[in-house]
Amino acid sequence: MKRILIIAVAFLIAAAPSFAQVSIDRKVDSLLAIMTLDEKIGQMNQLHPDIHDLETEIRSGKVGSVLSVVGTEWMNRLQKIAVEETRLGIPLLNGRDVIHGFRTIFPIPLGQAASFNPEIVREGAAIAAEEAYHEGINWTFAPMLDISHDARWGRIAESLGEDPLLAGIMGAAMVEGFQGADPENISGIAACAKHFVGYGAAEGGRDYNSTNIPERRLRNLHLRPFKAVADAGVASLMTAFNDNDGIPMTGNTRLIRDILRQEWGWDGMIVSDWESIREMIAHGFCQNEVEAAYKAAVAGVDVEMVSETYIRNLKKMVEDGIVPISVIDQSVGNILRLKFRLGLFDNPYWQPAEAPSSEKALKTAQKAAEESIILLKNTNALPLNAYEIRSVAVTGPLADAPADQIGTWVFDGDVTRSVTPIEAIREMYGDKVEIIYDPILNYSRETLPSDAEKRIRRLSKADVILYFAGEEAILSGEAHCLSSISLQGGQEQLGKLLKETGTKVISIIMAGRPIALKPILENSDAMLFAFHPGSMAGPALTRTIFGEICPSGKLPVTFPVDEGQIPIYYNHNSTGRPSDGKEILLHDIPLNASQTSLGNKSYYLDSGKDPLFPFGYGLSYTSFEYSDIRLSKTEINPDESVEVTLTLKNTGKMAGAEIVQCYIQDEFASAARPVRELADFKKIFLQPGESIEVKMQISPSAMSFYDINMNYSMEKGRFKVFVGKDSDAPLVGTFRL
Ligand code: NOJ
């Protein structure tokens, strides 16, 4: 009788329509009030079907969420156990890594960032959410907002680039795409910002490695995109694997409780990374799993992914008065709040519905891929005119690699949806030009076959060679780091041999990271860089190569000359001895030169100071003219913005988009500021001859930073403004605060 009563009360509190108007927090409190300690700790436990007997565990009330259960029928079966066979019937969350698509795959996040188009990112995430929801998922572990300056780090593929403003804008767009517009009433699936925080600064670019980021830098750089998505209403957040300055992020009370919760007032749910609570033992931060559970719970990690230290240890620690019950209540409150925001108490089951249209998804994926392609070099070789050329040769390991072109993190990707470049070229231009296809290399790490020269001779008979090089998907992503970022296998050699034939060579690179491109660039008449563009790589690249569209992507990360320049990024501080551009490089150093004769400036003797390509770089088939650039004010008061206005004209012959970029430098400050920082950008599409007035804002947040006293402030003084097509944009004016 008692049990029935409790269930009835819980049901009324949780699900009755009469409670609809009651705020979510009231519902959370009411539910918390009737939960036992066991039920509460059960909510904090997340299990995986490969490791745990989910049905038994859920039935015993020991599970609040699962991950990677794919399939509506399966998930509904588990949900039914949670809803009908546990005392309070609290429904489950089911998380999955839906990173850049589910069945239909969009460009890797780094490629999406290259589009500088938040709208296309939002659309892609909405489609991914729809496809994932259809398979029983209601929570994704994305977006990844880690700022990385290191192309060796495999997870740079999953990042949204090196700039905190860009990563924040793109991250917020992804969150909105996944969740829908109202964070209190999530209509899609819950998003999860990860990895909190600093994970992308792993020393040496080796995954999981330690980081050493001082608090000011954490706040001015790494935390910024997280703040942007917290403000945008991201539903959850994942702690990172790394330790920063000795404190693992999963046990970092200062960052979680003081900054995220107290300062930012963010009330979403925090999940650990996979076993990252137990891994605090391997870090040498906790002696055993009891201590690990204690430190993570007290730091404020609400949900433990997989390692089960909470379920085994928290109850006793609460009973012994070691862990205050308030800690548990806060965490469970955060978990329940998300379940209410998702509407799970009203609607716990996945309803069988028509599979989302793959046609629409593929169309959006194609647009996203098109916008992510960056033109890095063009000596009048692109675009190809299908009416002028008679034949094209297609070669390279990525010309027909349906699984590799979709990149890392695609557990559920439908490879049969991939259209490869060779398929697309045949389909779209097969009736207009003769196509000679021979990959020569079957995969990116393969060395040249013994008959390569003969086969290359055959390819060289064509009017132009399209060389699809790059990286297989397996070479980037989690735990897939490299100490060399050159093209693997025989690819550079193949590029050289192709060039030596005298036939025009167009290189198209698909990769999960920036590549040291110098050798291959030298052997290319033109180069397109596409990261891993996803399912529709083929049509997107073919349309770009044949000039149906203009490439418009811009680099979301600095491309180093070689890995020796890493870490390299545009928004660095100045040294006391910045290079003056008069670098003397190795081959110019006279014999017996004196120690100080090279100028004592900050650069490498072999690779200078400049990267191969700066952040924001990307060419076009058309040309854009910037004119009449003016600032709205030359003096401002604190909390005022400056507006930058300019006229942009498409002076070329093709329609195309330009990404207009505005950077600022706070010249002198109580703690030195970067040489320049992106303050705003606009992506503008123009017809040939068309011009438009473009307005950009330098907002107080672009001018503010954590100062010498760790206060967030705008400091008095002069700001320089740079406007143009990449991060080397020229100085266009100054203003004073
Ligand atoms: C570990 C990864 O670091 C994280 O990003 C991912 O979401 C989880 N595994 C779950 O697969």
Confidence of residue 397 (pLDDT cuts 50, 70, 90): very high
Identity of the amino acid at 291: E
What is the spatial distance between Cα 691 and Cα 652, in angstroms, rounded to a whole number? 11
φ, ψ of residue 636 to 5 degrees: the values are -135, 160
φ, ψ of residue 540 to 5 degrees: the values are -65, -45
Has residue 77 been placed in a domain?
Answer: no
Active site residue 580: no
Which pLDDT value is given to residue 300?
A: 98
Average pLDDT, the chain: 96
Has residue 677 been placed in a domain?
Answer: yes
Residues 652 and 535 in one domain: no
What is the spatial distance between Cα 162 and Cα 531, in angstroms, rounded to a whole number? 15
pLDDT at 19 over 50: no
Q: Is ligand 1 within 6 A of the CB of residue 275? A: no
Has residue 704 been placed in a domain?
Answer: yes
Environment class of 84 (CB within 10 Å of its CB; exposed 0-12, middle 13-18, buried 19+): exposed
Identity of the amino acid at 85: E
pLDDT at 531 over 70: yes
What is the spatial distance between Cα 682 and Cα 128, in angstroms, rounded to a whole number? 25
CA–CA distance from 91 to each of 311, 344, 367 (Å)? Answer: 18, 6, 37
Domain of 488, CATH number, reads: 3.40.50.1700
Residues 518 and 373 in one domain: yes
Task: Determine the average pLDDT of the residues in 693-715.
Answer: 98
Cα 731 from chain centre: 30
Token pair of 409 as six digits: 């993190």
Residues 536 and 636 in one domain: no
Task: Determine the average pLDDT of the residues in 48-70.
Answer: 98
Residues 369 and 515 in one domain: yes
What is the total count of domains within the chain? 2
64, 47 Cβ separation under 8 angstroms: no
At a CB cut-off of 8 Å and minimum separation 6, what does 281 contact? 287, 288, 289, 291, 292
Task: Determine the average pLDDT of the residues in 245-259.
Answer: 98
**567 half-sphere exposure, CB direction, 13 A CA radius:** 19
Q: Ligand 1 test: best mutation among 478, 480, 481, most atoms within 8 Å of CB?
A: 478
What is the spatial distance between Cα 228 and Cα 399, in angstroms, rounded to a whole number? 38
Of 511, 545, 579, the residue that ends a domain is 545
- Residue 59, classed as helix, strand or coil, is helix
What is the spatial distance between Cα 648 and Cα 660, in angstroms, rounded to a whole number? 9
pLDDT at 468 over 80: yes
CA–CA distance from 523 to each of 359, 450, 486, 496, 552 (Å)? Answer: 38, 21, 14, 6, 23
pLDDT at 280 over 70: yes
What is the spatial distance between Cα 541 and Cα 528, in angstroms, rounded to a whole number? 9
Q: How far, in Å, from the CA of 97 to the mean position of ligand 1?
A: 7
pLDDT at 9 over 70: no
What totals of helices (H) and strands (E) does the chain contain, helices first?
22, 25
Token pair of 178 as six digits: 């996944």
Q: How far, in Å, from the CA of 517 to the mean position of ligand 1?
A: 30
Which residue in the block uniquely carries the two structure tokens 């100080």?
A: 596
Q: Tens of pLDDT along 173-190?
A: 999 999 999 999 999 999
CA–CA distance from 203 to each of 74, 150, 566 (Å)? Answer: 41, 9, 11
Closest CA to 11 of 21, 1, 19, 22: 19
Q: Please give the full DSSP string across 301-325, using - where no structure is assigned.
A: --BEESS-HHHHHHHHHHHTTSS-H
CA–CA distance from 537 to each of 258, 441, 562, 580 (Å)? Answer: 44, 19, 27, 42
Residues 395 and 533 in one domain: yes
Residues 523 and 633 in one domain: no
Residues 399 and 512 in one domain: yes
Q: What does the buried/exposed string (b/e) look like for 656-671 if buried means 16 or more CB atoms within 10 Å of the residue's CB? A: bbbbbbbbbbbeebee
Residues 388 and 535 in one domain: yes
Has residue 555 been placed in a domain?
Answer: no
Has residue 510 been placed in a domain?
Answer: yes
Between 8-12, 212-216, 497-501, 693-697, the lowest mean confidence (pLDDT) is in 8-12
Which pLDDT value is given to residue 199?
A: 98
Cα 130 from chain centre: 20
Q: Is ligand 1 within 6 A of the CB of residue 194? A: yes
Q: Ligand 1 test: best mutation among 98, 99, 141, 305, most atoms within 8 Å of CB?
A: 141
pLDDT at 607 over 80: yes
720, 610 Cβ separation under 8 angstroms: no
Which protein residue has the closest C-alpha to ligand 1 atom 8? 274
Task: Determine the average pLDDT of the residues in 716-731.
Answer: 98
Task: Determine the average pLDDT of the residues in 152-161.
Answer: 98
Which pLDDT value is given to residue 232?
A: 98
Give yes or no for a cis peptide into 107 (omega within 30° of 0). no
Which pLDDT value is given to residue 5?
A: 43
Q: Which atom of ligand 1 is nearest the CA belonging to 142?
A: 7
Residues 395 and 524 in one domain: yes
Confidence of residue 2 (pLDDT cuts 50, 70, 90): very low
Q: How far, in Å, from the CA of 171 to the mean position of ligand 1?
A: 17
Which residue in the block uniquely carries the two structure tokens 């927090």?
A: 25
**The Cα angle at residue 678 between residues 673 and 681, in degrees rounded to 5:** 165
Q: What does the buried/exposed string (b/e) look like for 141-154 if buried means 16 or more CB atoms within 10 Å of the residue's CB? A: bbbbbbbbbbbbbb
What is the spatial distance between Cα 541 and Cα 111, in angstroms, rounded to a whole number? 13
Of 500, 527, 545, the residue that ends a domain is 545
Which pLDDT value is given to residue 700?
A: 98
**Whole domain around residue 674: which residue ranges?**
624-736
Has residue 521 been placed in a domain?
Answer: yes
Of 522, 545, 568, the residue that ends a domain is 545
Has residue 437 been placed in a domain?
Answer: yes
What is the spatial distance between Cα 7 and Cα 581, in angstroms, rounded to a whole number? 74
Q: How far, in Å, from the CA of 273 to the mean position of ligand 1?
A: 6
Active-site hit among 97, 146, 273, 400: 273
Secondary element (H or E) of residue 167: helix 164-179
214, 201 Cβ separation under 8 angstroms: no
Q: Tens of pLDDT along 101-122?
A: 999 999 999 999 999 999 999 9
Q: Is ligand 1 within 6 A of the CB of residue 155? A: no
Which pLDDT value is given to residue 22?
A: 59
Has residue 464 been placed in a domain?
Answer: yes
Confidence of residue 355 (pLDDT cuts 50, 70, 90): confident
Task: Determine the average pLDDT of the residues in 570-599.
Answer: 95
According to the 3-state scheme, what is the secondary structure of 586-646? HHHCCCCCCCCCCCCCCCECCCECCCCECCCCCECCCCEEEEEEEECCCECCCCCCEEEEE
Q: Where are the alpha helices (DSSP H) in 284-387?
A: 289-299, 309-319, 325-341, 358-372
Cα 265 from chain centre: 24
What is the spatial distance between Cα 483 and Cα 204, in angstroms, rounded to a whole number? 8
Q: How far, in Å, from the CA of 411 to the mean position of ligand 1?
A: 12
Domain of 652, CATH number, reads: 2.60.40.10
